[in-house]
Each structure stands twice: as structure tokens, then as C-alpha cells.
Amino acid sequence: MDGPEEVYKRGDMIVKVKEPLASEFELIRAGQTIFTYFHFASSPELTNAMVKSKANCIAYETVARLDESLPLLVPMSEIAGRMATQCGAKYLEKPMGGRGVLLGGVPGVAKGNVLILGGGIVGTEAAKMAAGLGANVTLLDVDLNRLRFLDTVMPANVTTRFSSPSAIEELLPHADLVIGAVLITGARAPLLVKRQHLKTMKPGSVLVDVAVDQGGCIETCKPTTHDAPTFVVDDVLHYCVANMPGAVPYTSTMALGNATLPYALQLANQGWVDAAINNAEIRNGLNIIDGVVVHPAVNADYPIYPYEDVDAFLSRKKQPDFNIQGMAKPMTTTKQSYA
């Protein structure tokens, strides 16, 4: 197929990576299923366009398991975590603006110190990479069970600490590289490194705030892009790219494809109505369908658009006699055609 116009014209279901661009809004048709990241909270224009389009918008970021884990966000966190150490090591080099430290050291020369705030997916992957380079790694979290797990599985050059303002103040002056990797689901990232802390850090040390997409956990962080990824505040180099996996699109696309494929196949084979009824993870991904918001978080951000509970909406779409909880109601009328 040649170009986006033809793809959108011919495809009943479009599987993407990033949110539709403004240039794609006009191409999206009523009844077409779009399976991709949407992040509606950050774009009123996209939300308005998708409501108007009457397309079926199924968002990767809200596909959720029963344990509330988000399987289609994990690959991006894994990539960003590994990249955080790789980028941090690069920007510690003198020509890149850093203090000229090799994280692993060499025989007879001390290793670099890496401080990681948050031991979730990003923090764990960052710690594994930093440990592999031979650095001294300190990994902080507020979840004791998580710390117990990390303490068991991490190599000997990774130390776990309970995260607190005093622990962070104690560790910052020794750090060559600090990686911000905290998340409080649904909330802005907590500010763990304040502006006044920078003066206690070594000149030329590097801060990588991966949590920048949730507001950042470092007060002086502001979102940057791959074109101009860094800036300096108080002699400390900041790297705050909001879409880190975008720098490694080959790996990112393969990793995301591995995670999305089973859902995409179910959607393609069963159609979005049956797929959503049969699979609660897909049902959690329904955001805007046929001009109606069906996800409570999107409704909370955009109460101006029509909203309907997803189960009620699906029951109506399927047939008036169908009870989404899994019980087909006794048929009392002639079978309705599916929408």
C-alpha cells in the first residue's frame, strides 16, 4: 500500500505505535478500529477528533490485567530503563558535558556511583545495565516487598535502600549518575530531588529523569527531545527526554509488536465487540467508541463528551438481550443484528 491515505482507506483495523497525528485525523473513518497509544489526557485536539470520527479507539496504555498491571506499557519502560544507564554513561563523558567518569572504572581506579530512584520496571532495568557495566549501584524504593525481591535477584554491586528524603540527601553528593524512575499510578511523580540538592552534587554529574512524562521526580527537570536532549542547571547535566524509546525505533517496534500481537489478533479475528466481551484486558483498552467515551479516566478529563459505562455500552452494541457479565439473558425477542 502506498502512503497513509490508502492505508486508512483500505484498513478496517489500523495498528499503530504513536497517537494519530493531526494529518491523520481526516483519514480516520467511522467504524474503523484504531489500536495504538492515544494518551488522550495530554491532547484535547486528538480527543475531539476521535469523538467526531466515530472510530473505535482502543488505547494501549489502558489495556490492563486483573492485577492492574499494564502489559502494553511494560516494553517501553524496559527500553527506557536500559537506555537511562546507556545515556547516563554517555553524558558522563567529558566531550558530552559530563565530569569524565567511566562508570565501571578500571583496575586501580574507583568505579562510578549510580543512584536509582524507584525500583519498578524502569529502575530494575537501569540497575541491571549499570551493574553490568561494573558501577556501584544504589536502588531506592518505598515498597519493602519490592526491595526484598530486588535484594534477592540483583548482583552484589547493587545495594537496596528504603527511599526517604534523608537517604536521598545522604546519597546525592556521592552520585555520578542519578536516574529518576518513580511512579505513583495516576498521579504526578513525587519531587524527590529539589533544586537546592544540586549544589550538593559533584559538578558534571548527570541526572536522567525517566519519569519526566509524569511531571518528573527532579524539580529542575523539564521535558526535552532527542534533538536537544540535555541542559545544565547548577553544573549538573540533565537528560529529560519524554519519549526515550523513540531513539531506538527498531527495538521499540519489535518489543511493542511482541506485546500487542495477541491482542491485535484477537481484535482482528473476533471483531472489537466480541474481543472486548471475551477479554477484560481488551475491554479496559476501550476509550472512545462511535463518538462515545467509555473509559472513566477519559471521562474524568473530558466530561463535555457523551459518556457511557463500557459494559452497558457493549451490551447495547452486542444485542439488547445480552448481559455483559457473561450470562446470556433468556431470549424473549427476535435476535437483533450486531451493530
Ligand X SMILES: NC(=O)c1ccc[n+]([C@@H]2O[C@H](COP(=O)([O-])OP(=O)(O)OC[C@H]3O[C@@H](n4cnc5c(N)ncnc54)[C@H](O)[C@@H]3O)[C@@H](O)[C@H]2O)c1
Report, as residue numbers or ranges, the catalytic residues: 39, 213
Instruction: Name, in order, each residue with C-beta under 8 angstroms of 333's C-beta and a sequence gap of 6 or more.
Output: 320, 321
Q: How far is the CB of 247 from ligand X (least distance, A)?
A: 9
Closest residue by beta carbon to ligand X? 120
Pairing type for strands 33-36 and 206-209 reads unpaired
CA distance 21 to 175: 40
Give the residue, chosen from 50, 72, 121, 137, that forms a contact with ligand X under the rule CB under 6 A. Answer: 121
Distance CA 160, CA 148 (A): 8
Strands of the chain, DSSP E: 13-15, 33-36, 56-59, 113-117, 136-141, 158-162, 177-180, 206-209, 230-233, 236-239, 286-289, 292-293
Length of the chain: 339
Q: How far is the CB of 235 from ligand X (least distance, A)?
A: 23
Distance CA 145, CA 121 (A): 14
Least Cβ distance, residue 301 to ligand X (angstroms):
17
From the list 55-63, 104-112, 120-128, 318-326, the region that binds ligand X by CB under 6 A is 120-128
Which listed range, 20-28, 45-53, 181-189, 277-285, lies at the site for ligand X (CB under 6 A)? Answer: 181-189
- Strand arrangement of the beta sheet that strand 230-233 belongs to: 158-162, 136-141, 113-117, 177-180, 206-209, 236-239, 230-233
143 in contact with ligand X (CB under 6 A): yes
Q: Restricting to residues 150-179, which ones interact with ligand X according to CB under 6 A?
A: 163
Name the one range near ligand X by CB under 6 A: 25-33, 207-215, 276-284, 302-310.
Answer: 207-215
Nearest Cα residue to 103 out of 68, 132, 63, 124: 132
Q: Which of 13, 102, 142, 191 binds ligand X (CB under 6 A)?
A: 142
Work out whether 248 is an interface residue with ligand X (CB under 6 A): no
CB of 121 to ligand X, least distance (A): 4
210 binds ligand X (CB under 6 A): yes
Binding flag, residue 208, ligand X (CB under 6 A): no
Q: Which residues in this chain contact ligand X in the complex, by CB under 6 A?
A: 76-77, 80, 117-123, 140-143, 146, 163, 181-184, 189-190, 192, 210-214, 242-245
